[in-house]
A and B are shown apart, each in its own frame.
Chain A
Amino acid sequence: GAVVSQHPSRVICKSGTSVKIECRSLDFQATTMFWYRQFPKQSLMLMATSNEGSKATYEQGVEKDKFLINHASLTLSTLTVTSAHPEDSSFYICSARRPYHYEQYFGPGTRLTVT
C-alpha cells in the first residue's frame, strides 16, 4: 500500500509555455501533499505544502504565480509551471501523507526540460 504516482514521468516544453504535473495517491486518501524540486546530486528542496480544499503554503523564495498548486481532491494534486523558462528545468517530486501518519510516500518524479 501507500503508492503515489506522477504523470508525466518526463516532459519537454518550449520556453514560455505552461506544463502541468499530476500527483496521485493510488490506494489511500492524502490530506496533505508536498511538492519538491531536486537538482542533480542534491537534496530535495520543498516548494510547497498542499492541503486538500485549501490554498497551498509556499516556501520562502518560491514564486506562487509561477508554480501553481491545486489539491482538488483527497487523491490528486497538480503542479503547473507557468511561462516556463530553461532555468525551471529540474526534477520535480511529489509526496503524500496519510491522515494521522508521519511518513511521506513519494512519487517517482517528473523530469522537466524547458528548451
Chain B
Amino acid sequence: AQTVTQSQPEMSVQEAETVTLSCTYDTSESDYYLFWYKQPPSRQMILVIRQEAYKQQNATENRFSVNFQKAAKSFSLKISDSQLGDAAMYFCAYSRSEYGNKLVFGAGTILRVKS
C-alpha cells in the first residue's frame, strides 16, 4: 500500500523568508500524481500545486514550487516570500494514475508565519 510521510509536525518562517516542507512517499507504481493541499483555519482544503510523476520538470505556481526527486521518492514544497496568509496546515498527498483513484494523505505540517 502507498504511504505518505511528513516528518515535520510544525514549521515556522519569518514573513518574506523562504521555507521548505518535506514529504516522502512509498509506492511501487511508476506513474502517479503528487499534490500539496493547504488547509487554513477555515478548514477549507485548497489545492496548492500538483506534479505528474512522468514529468521531470518541477511544478511551480507563483511563490510555490516543488522539488520532486522520483528516485528518492521525495516531494518537498518550497514557499518563497512567505506571507501571513500562508499560515495553515499543509498536506502532501499521493494518487495513483487511474481516474477516480483516491488520495493518500500525509499527517500534515502546521506552518506558522511570524511577522
Contact = CB atoms under 8 A, between A and B. Distances in A.
Interface of A: 31-32, 34, 38, 41-44, 46, 49, 51, 91, 93, 95, 97, 99-106, 108-109
B30 to A, nearest CB: 16
A46 B95 contact: no
Interface of B: 33, 35, 37, 42-47, 50, 89, 91, 95, 97, 99-103, 105-108, 110
6 contacts: A42-B108, A43-B107, A43-B108, A97-B100, A100-B99, A106-B46
Contacts of A91: 43
Contacts of A101: 99
Contacts of B47: 103, 105
Contact of A44 (B97, B99, B105): B105
Nearest to B37: A106
B33 A102 contact: yes
B27 to A, nearest CB: 15
A34 B105 CA distance: 13
B50 to A, nearest CB: 6
Nearest to A2: B47
B8 to A, nearest CB: 14
Nearest to A105: B47
A14 B41 CA distance: 27
A6 to B, nearest CB: 10
